[in-house]
Chain A
Amino acid sequence: MSAPLILKHVRKSFSTQDGPIDVLEDVTFSLEAGELLAITGESGSGKSTLLHIIGALETFDAGEIRYGDLELSSLSDTERAQFRRSMVGIIFQQYNLVPSLDVLANVRLHARLADREDGDWTRYLLDRLGLETLAGRYPEQLSGGQQQRVAIARTLAAKPGLILADEPTGNLDERSSGTVFELMSGLAEEAGISLIVVTHSNELAGRISRNLHLHAGRVA
């Protein structure tokens, strides 16, 4: 079930040999339940770090992030894992499929872990994403576009409240990336799932109604 996401004055810095680097400075925005958002920005602007923080993959130094009733900064390591398991779905540029599982098992994996497996929904997703005939194949037997569609199906099959996609089409050609992007955003919208997509492509960002531009760690 989707819920509103609120970020207030979020800060994050990394320590390096040359001293700390501020990656995010005072990032504030909110997202309604079921809303789609594209985050754009140059390399090093903090887009991916922001996504990792929202997905509880990384901690932040200051500010507040609230998803529904949950305050992310107060979660323990185990609670953060539980948050990723049951509330968010993350799609990376690298597809992160389990090489030893076939397509169907990969698609069902997150839903099974979240105890939210729905056979009809899974079949529907396989059909919509053109994966039905590939269900018995292994990741190594698929093209890059097919692997990314499996990763998207896996995330959607778990019915998370929020999907975070980090350059989901970065490894695909222009035509495939357009198709994959459409399918991902269309299916998320159809299921009422909030979607945040990080991309450096203005063309893809233009397909989503709401855009947020990051520049040097700040919302521009």
Chain B
Amino acid sequence: MIDLRVISVLLSHWRKHPFQLAMLLTGLFLASGLWTGVEAINTEARASYALAEAALAPPRFASIVSARTRTIPVETYTRLQTSGWRTSPIFEKRVRLRDRYIRVIGVDVLTYPAQDVFQDVTSQESVQGFLTRLIGKTGTLFADAPTAAFLTRNGVAGEILTSNSLPPKTVLGDFSALARLLPGSEADISGSGFSRLIVLENQPRDQVPLREFADVILAEPEDQAGTAELTDSFHLNLTAFGFLSFLVGLFVVYGIIALSFEQRRIVFRTLRLLGVSRRQLIASLSIELLVLATIGGILGVIGGYFLAALLLPDVAATLESLYRANVSGSLTFRWQWLVSGIAITLLGTALASASGFVETARSSILEEGGAYASRTRLFRLSRLQAILALALLATFAVLVVFGQGLVAGFAALACLLIGFALALPSLLNWIIAGVSTFARGPLAEWFLADARFVLPGLSVALMALLMAASANIGVSTMVGSFRTTFIDWLDKRLAAEVYLSTRSTDEAIAINEWLKPRVDAVLPIMNERVRLSGEPGDMYGVADHATYRRDWPLKASTEDAWDRVFAGDGVLINEQLSLRYDLAVGDTLSIEGNHALEIVGIYPDYGNPAVEAMIGIDLFDSWYPDTPRRRFVVRVDPGRSDEIIRGLQEAFGLPDANIANQTEVKQLSQRIFERTFVVTAALNVLTLGVAVFALLTSLVILATYRLPQLAPLWAMGMTRVQMAWFELLRALVLALLTGLIAIPVGLLLGWVLLAVINVEAFGWRLPFQTDPRDWVLLIAYSVLAALLAAAYPTLRLAQVSPSTLLKQASDAH
């Protein structure tokens, strides 16, 4: 079936057209590169989550967690042990060291079930010797290689061994070692207790049932929502962008493959005439494309690796700021994304070449591949395209109205983008036809008629440009809305000048006394872990002060909301809780402990994945009398906040991590915000770049066919430079029209991102805000893209030799 002689004839096409080959490989490279880059980032991040979860709670093991607070007191642990519960305690805390947050995990090495962490090092020595060293005087900590180096560099004494089974930015050790090596940790364990207790295997039968312990509950392995689940939406977002880039790249591939099939129709026919069977021809074409796609795919995977390595530090920063997830900033080569990159390239190539294969398989051996046949096919194709576009846009409407969940949201986005892209050639055709009726003069009439004539050849590239430009407007709208809302919200939410976290209740009392005569107000921040509408969340207690009454942003509220909150007669809830349980102002919120309060307001809470509620401090104290007051916000003249911070540090030795001034927090938040969108912006620009490349490809290819059409005009007295200007102008006009169509499509896309995707992914809805300056910029980009893409073919046309034109003019039929 496979005949190398036939394949060599097919390959001769690419030898003769090296530019086409380069374009095809570049298209494949871009498509698979962007996809692989995104996949590599996702895989790396997920691998980090898996390591983190394995270290904290091995997958097979259930855990005992606190029913109300975030920690289990040491006394509870001891009671459980004496009641027959065999558990291994875990302590987890984020500690700030220099400019970095490190996750500290304390374990009891003798009972800790995730022994993989130690596996890398125990093979070197006896288990006995190792354990002695681990809990002995010197103390040993474990971390991944970069974290170990960072800790050593920053003066953490003692032995730090590297373990490949630990996630990045994490240090693990026995409680005794942690207490010695990381001062402050011990106080946390004795003061507040353990984060969780891992329930070990082979529990005794006569243990006291857990329900007799009021303050703890059992969390089965499947109940423990991990970072992977929390960050799903973020990764889905990245995947969607990767897919969009892939799709745009695929348009380039489709354009080149379609052209190569069209140009080789005579070759296919000749081969068939010379005795090559239809099946053999299809098989040989498949092998040819398989080889080219594999080469392009491998190149793409290599490119994707570098892209991912470039973007990963920003993604890691985003994930840390949004989800507190520790992701390695450096990339490890993984087979999964190599295979996935090549597989999706092959799949994409198969899709891009499907119509060519069908056409080749169907074509009769005696069929003339002339211009008429080609135009009939194009007409059929454009009609099919328009029908498909309508079907996709109808699906979009159905998904937006009736769809539920993030996947439905992204499917709606895909339908919207692809639907409009497919409708674009028909739209442009109608617009130009409409304008043509007003055209006066032979040149204007020719120009418009010619623009319609070349439209099929450029439509794929213009479709790619429309997709990239719409995505650009949509994402700019989302980011712009986000930025405006976020900064305003941040100003109101971070109204206080200084934020404090004390290390013990005694210290809290002393600091309060010290502060009172020096500042305007000291307001406690108190929270308790409770179930709100049945879901674990945080209940905050706030004091009656202008900080809340005047500054706290509310999306909806009753007129007397704050009066009722401070009177203990109403509750404020965050938007996540409102959207998740369809709660509105006036509804009643059920709160764990058989409490219920009327909702008097809903506040925006951007960046928080959890549900939250807020009540007056008096009611809070009566419901949760044991909650310690250890965190505070301080209101003071902004000019004096540095002085107060210095004073606190001198008087109480409060570390940097426990004190923050508003300016720093705002700057940090804004930095995190900007960094969060670095990846999106980068992918946005790359997608637009691929679209420019698609346009360049199409224009260069088109230029090779233009001479027979332009030569008669030259013969009729038009100069080469004039023809070149018309070619350029036509590309610019088509790009301009595409840019204009991209504006409503992009705005619709932005609306879906804000009203559907964001709500599904993060649980909050942003107000739709758009800046027309972005549109002007985008249109300018589109025209500039067309100018860049058209420059080379135009220049070539301006310099074409008269003898070539003469030959074309005399051969033109």
Interface residue ranges, A against B (CB under 8 Å): 52, 57-58, 77-78, 81-86, 90, 92, 96-101, 105, 109-110, 112-114, 138, 158
CA distance A170 to B478 in the complex (A): 66
CA distance A134 to B16 in the complex (A): 17
The answer to the question of B629 belonging to the interface, with a C-beta cut-off of 8 Å to chain A, is no
The answer to the question of B266 belonging to the interface, with a C-beta cut-off of 8 Å to chain A, is yes
The answer to the question of B279 belonging to the interface, with a C-beta cut-off of 8 Å to chain A, is yes
Is A99 a contact of B274 with CB atoms below 8 Å?
Answer: no
Interface residues as binary, B1-32 with A (CB distance below 8 Å gives 1, 0 otherwise):
00101100100110111000000000000000
Is A138 a contact of B16 with CB atoms below 8 Å?
Answer: yes
Among A81, A98, A105, which residue has its beta carbon within 8 angstroms of that of B270? A98
Is A96 a contact of B277 with CB atoms below 8 Å?
Answer: no
B366 CB contacts on chain A under 8 angstroms: 52, 57-58
Nearest B residue (CB) for A58 = B366
A84 CB contacts on chain B under 8 angstroms: 273-275
Is B275 a contact of A81 with CB atoms below 8 Å?
Answer: yes
Interface residues as binary, B342-379 with A (CB distance below 8 Å gives 1, 0 otherwise):
00000000000000000000000110000000000000
Interface size class of B (residues with CB under 8 A): 20 to 34
Is B276 a contact of A96 with CB atoms below 8 Å?
Answer: no
Is A101 a contact of B275 with CB atoms below 8 Å?
Answer: no
Report the 4 A-B pairs with minimum CB-CB distance, sorted nearest first.
A85-B275, A81-B277, A100-B16, A84-B275
Most buried by A among B6, B9, B278: B9
Among B267, B275, B280, which residue has its beta carbon within 8 angstroms of that of A98? B267
Interface residue ranges, B against A (CB under 8 Å): 3, 5-6, 9, 12-13, 15-17, 263, 266-267, 269-270, 272-280, 365-366
Are A109 and B9 also in contact (CB < 8 A) when A58-B366, A100-B16 are? Answer: yes
B272 CB contacts on chain A under 8 angstroms: 81
Nearest A residue (CB) for B281 = A81
Is B275 a contact of A114 with CB atoms below 8 Å?
Answer: yes
B6 CB contacts on chain A under 8 angstroms: 113
Is A101 a contact of B278 with CB atoms below 8 Å?
Answer: no
Are A99 and B16 also in contact (CB < 8 A) when A81-B280, A109-B9, A113-B5 are? Answer: yes
Is B273 a contact of A99 with CB atoms below 8 Å?
Answer: no
Is A113 a contact of B266 with CB atoms below 8 Å?
Answer: no
Nearest A residue (CB) for B9 = A98
Most buried by B among A52, A82, A96: A96
Identify 10 new A-B residue pairs, CB closer than 8 A, beyond the known A57-B365, A85-B276, A109-B9: A57-B366, A83-B275, A84-B273, A98-B12, A98-B270, A99-B16, A99-B266, A100-B15, A101-B12, A113-B276
B5 CB contacts on chain A under 8 angstroms: 112-113
Between-chain CB contacts (< 8 Å), 16 pairs: A57-B366, A77-B278, A81-B278, A85-B274, A85-B275, A85-B276, A86-B275, A90-B273, A99-B267, A100-B17, A112-B5, A113-B3, A113-B5, A113-B274, A113-B276, A158-B274
A105 CB contacts on chain B under 8 angstroms: 12
CA distance A84 to B270 in the complex (A): 11
Nearest B residue (CB) for A151 = B270
Most buried by B among A85, A96, A100, A105: A100
Nearest B residue (CB) for A83 = B275
CA distance A92 to B277 in the complex (A): 19
Most buried by B among A84, A98, A138: A98
A70 CB, min distance to chain B CBs, angstroms: 14
A138 CB contacts on chain B under 8 angstroms: 16
A33 CB, min distance to chain B CBs, angstroms: 20
B16 CB contacts on chain A under 8 angstroms: 99-100, 138
Are A109 and B274 also in contact (CB < 8 A) when A98-B12, A99-B266, A101-B12 are? Answer: yes
Nearest A residue (CB) for B15 = A100
CA distance A100 to B265 in the complex (A): 12
B269 CB contacts on chain A under 8 angstroms: 96
CA distance A86 to B280 in the complex (A): 16
B17 CB contacts on chain A under 8 angstroms: 100
Is A113 a contact of B275 with CB atoms below 8 Å?
Answer: yes
Most buried by A among B15, B266, B269, B278: B266
Are A100 and B274 also in contact (CB < 8 A) when A57-B366, A78-B279, A81-B280 are? Answer: no
Is A100 a contact of B275 with CB atoms below 8 Å?
Answer: no
Is B270 a contact of A96 with CB atoms below 8 Å?
Answer: yes
A94 CB, min distance to chain B CBs, angstroms: 8
CA distance A77 to B277 in the complex (A): 7
A107 CB, min distance to chain B CBs, angstroms: 12
CA distance A57 to B269 in the complex (A): 11
CA distance A92 to B269 in the complex (A): 12
A82 CB contacts on chain B under 8 angstroms: 275, 277
B50 CB, min distance to chain A CBs, angstroms: 51
B267 CB contacts on chain A under 8 angstroms: 98-100
Is B277 a contact of A78 with CB atoms below 8 Å?
Answer: yes
B270 CB contacts on chain A under 8 angstroms: 96-98
CA distance A97 to B269 in the complex (A): 10
B539 CB, min distance to chain A CBs, angstroms: 75
B800 CB, min distance to chain A CBs, angstroms: 16
Nearest B residue (CB) for A91 = B273
Nearest B residue (CB) for A111 = B274
A57 CB contacts on chain B under 8 angstroms: 273, 365-366
A110 CB contacts on chain B under 8 angstroms: 274-275
CA distance A58 to B5 in the complex (A): 25
CA distance A73 to B288 in the complex (A): 33
A112 CB contacts on chain B under 8 angstroms: 5
Is A101 a contact of B9 with CB atoms below 8 Å?
Answer: yes
Most buried by A among B6, B263, B272, B277: B277
A8 CB, min distance to chain B CBs, angstroms: 24
A77 CB contacts on chain B under 8 angstroms: 277-279
Is A100 a contact of B273 with CB atoms below 8 Å?
Answer: no
CA distance A83 to B16 in the complex (A): 30
Nearest A residue (CB) for B12 = A100
Nearest B residue (CB) for A81 = B277
Nearest A residue (CB) for B368 = A94
CA distance A148 to B531 in the complex (A): 87
CA distance A24 to B273 in the complex (A): 22
Is B365 a contact of A100 with CB atoms below 8 Å?
Answer: no
CA distance A84 to B740 in the complex (A): 55
CA distance A193 to B277 in the complex (A): 24
CA distance A86 to B275 in the complex (A): 7
CA distance A52 to B273 in the complex (A): 10
A98 CB contacts on chain B under 8 angstroms: 9, 12, 266-267, 270
A165 CB, min distance to chain B CBs, angstroms: 13
Nearest A residue (CB) for B278 = A77
CA distance A113 to B276 in the complex (A): 8
CA distance A13 to B157 in the complex (A): 96
CA distance A86 to B6 in the complex (A): 15
Is B273 a contact of A96 with CB atoms below 8 Å?
Answer: yes
CA distance A121 to B280 in the complex (A): 28
Most buried by A among B273, B277, B279: B273
A140 CB, min distance to chain B CBs, angstroms: 10
A183 CB, min distance to chain B CBs, angstroms: 21
CA distance A97 to B273 in the complex (A): 11
Is B276 a contact of A100 with CB atoms below 8 Å?
Answer: no
A97 CB contacts on chain B under 8 angstroms: 270
CA distance A101 to B267 in the complex (A): 10
A93 CB, min distance to chain B CBs, angstroms: 11
Nearest B residue (CB) for A80 = B277
A81 CB contacts on chain B under 8 angstroms: 272, 275-278, 280
Nearest A residue (CB) for B275 = A85
A113 CB contacts on chain B under 8 angstroms: 3, 5-6, 274-276
A139 CB, min distance to chain B CBs, angstroms: 10
B83 CB, min distance to chain A CBs, angstroms: 80
CA distance A118 to B277 in the complex (A): 24
CA distance A34 to B692 in the complex (A): 61
CA distance A52 to B9 in the complex (A): 24
A106 CB, min distance to chain B CBs, angstroms: 9
CA distance A82 to B263 in the complex (A): 25
B15 CB contacts on chain A under 8 angstroms: 100
